[in-house]
């Protein structure tokens, strides 16, 4: 009797957990749909391509602090910029804001420019860009004048390329960086000491595999760097749509069609496992063949390494379940 009661209790908890997971997934899909609808509405009003608006919002979502997980739009204007110098009462009437030379605009026809209203914020952003023009070059100039940082402009431009190609922003698929039908092994090695080139820490996870094992993209992104590196040998760097730089090192070679500026997606083969590096171009064999996989986060001001191991474990599970 007790066994049966425990069984039904366990079954109830399992069903409740599954239901919660489904609801959470649906909520996540809904917020992506809402965002995409707002971006496309703003494009209709301003002719600024929706994927650029989406890419700017995505960039801000990665560099802004203390954002809520379910926050619809992440773009923020400084209060003085939004309301205008002299509008100390922060009057939201769009005509008053214009009179004070504020950037806030009415994006939904209610005659108010509310910095908490997503439609007003996106319309104001697009209106700011329109001051420079509608072409890609005009947009790049607007971005540079706002961010004053080449990496920010570069990241937004590449994220826009990805959104444009897939005509979607809900790009959450992931893959493991080596083919799971080959033999491989790895453990957490981030932060370990390294001696070549002076004392330094290991900024990644080493995945040991035989020469020639396919190396794959883990994420959606754009190839940012490709070529020889003293430490990493033949390496490739990909920046994803979450402003994370993925570093693949010690490759034996690249796929024939891989080039800088190319859009990649999870599962795309980038090259193969090798043992290159620790010397001039062509140096190989100073250590067993493996993929060094690193991840670097950018916050809009600086970039730093963080431990990829927990992500690799998660992506490995996802790859094996597909």
Give the pLDDT of the chain (322 residues) as one tens digit per residue.
Answer: 555 555 555 555 544 444 444 444 555 679 999 999 999 999 999 999 999 999 999 999 999 888 887 889 999 999 999 999 999 999 999 999 999 999 999 999 999 999 999 999 999 999 999 999 999 999 999 999 999 999 999 999 999 999 999 999 999 999 999 999 999 999 988 776 565 544 556 678 999 999 999 999 999 999 999 999 998 999 999 999 999 999 999 999 999 999 999 999 999 999 999 999 989 999 999 999 999 999 999 988 888 889 999 999 999 999 999 8
- Length of the chain equals 322
Q: What is the pLDDT of residue 198?
A: 45
Is residue 55 within 8 Å of residue 159, measured between CB atoms?
yes
Is residue 143 within 8 Å of residue 125, measured between CB atoms?
no
3-state secondary structure of 220: coil
* Cα dihedral sign, 44-46-51-53: negative
Rounded to 5 degrees, φ, ψ at 185 are -150, 150
* Cα dihedral sign, 154-156-159-163: negative
126: nearest Cα among 63, 71, 56, 175: 56
Spatial separation of the C-alpha atoms in residues 258 and 226, rounded to whole Å: 9
Per-residue model confidence as pLDDT tens digits over 289-300: 999 999 999 988
Q: What is the pLDDT of residue 22?
A: 44
CATH code 3.30.1130.10 for 184-321: no
**Using the 8-state DSSP alphabet, how is residue 209 labeled?**
E
Q: In 100-199, at which residue ranges do the beta strands (DSSP E only) sit?
A: 184-186, 193-194
Residue 87, both tokens: 């509008």
Spatial separation of the C-alpha atoms in residues 209 and 243, rounded to whole Å: 28
Max alpha carbon distance in the chain (Å)?
77
Residue 77 CB neighbours (<10 A) = 18
Q: What is the pLDDT of residue 282?
A: 93
Pairing of strands 193-194, 233-240: unpaired
3-state secondary structure of 79: helix
Q: What is the pLDDT of residue 29?
A: 77
Parse the chain into domains and list their residue ranges.
34-76+115-166, 184-321
Residue 247, both tokens: 């570093």
Pairing of strands 263-264, 244-254: unpaired
């Amino acid at each position: 009797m007790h066994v049966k009661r425990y069984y039904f209790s366990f079954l109830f908890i399992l069903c409740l957990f599954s239901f919660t997971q489904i609801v959470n997934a649906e909520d996540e899909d809904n917020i992506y749909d809402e965002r995409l609808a707002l971006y496309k509405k703003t494009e209709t009003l301003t002719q600024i391509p929706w994927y650029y608006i989406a890419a700017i919002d995505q960039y801000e979502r990665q560099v802004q602090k203390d954002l809520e997980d379910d926050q619809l739009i992440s773009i923020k204007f400084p209060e003085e910029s939004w309301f205008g110098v002299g509008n100390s009462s922060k009057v939201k009437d769009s005509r008053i804001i214009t009179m004070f030379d504020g950037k806030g605009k009415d994006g939904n026809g209610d005659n108010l420019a509310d910095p908490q209203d997503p439609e007003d914020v996106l319309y104001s952003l697009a209106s700011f860009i329109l001051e420079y023009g509608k072409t890609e070059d005009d947009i790049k100039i607007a971005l540079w004048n706002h961010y004053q940082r080449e990496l920010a402009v570069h990241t937004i431009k590449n994220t826009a390329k990805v959104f444009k190609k897939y005509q979607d922003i809900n790009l959450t698929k992931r893959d493991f960086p080596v083919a799971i039908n080959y033999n491989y092994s790895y453990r957490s090695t981030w932060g370990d000491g390294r001696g070549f080139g002076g004392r330094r820490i290991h900024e990644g996870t080493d995945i040991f595999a035989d020469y020639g094992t396919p190396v794959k993209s883990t994420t959606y992104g754009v190839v940012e760097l490709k070529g020889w590196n003293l430490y990493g040998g033949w390496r490739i760097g990909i920046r994803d749509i979450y402003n994370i730089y993925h570093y693949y090192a010690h490759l034996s070679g690249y796929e024939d069609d891989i080039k800088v500026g190319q859009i990649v997606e999870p599962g795309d083969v980038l090259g193969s496992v090798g043992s290159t590096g620790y010397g001039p171009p062509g140096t190989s064999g100073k250590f067993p063949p493996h993929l060094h996989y690193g991840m670097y986060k950018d916050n809009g001001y600086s970039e730093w390494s963080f431990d990829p191991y927990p992500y690799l474990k998660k992506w490995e599970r996802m790859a094996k379940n597909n």
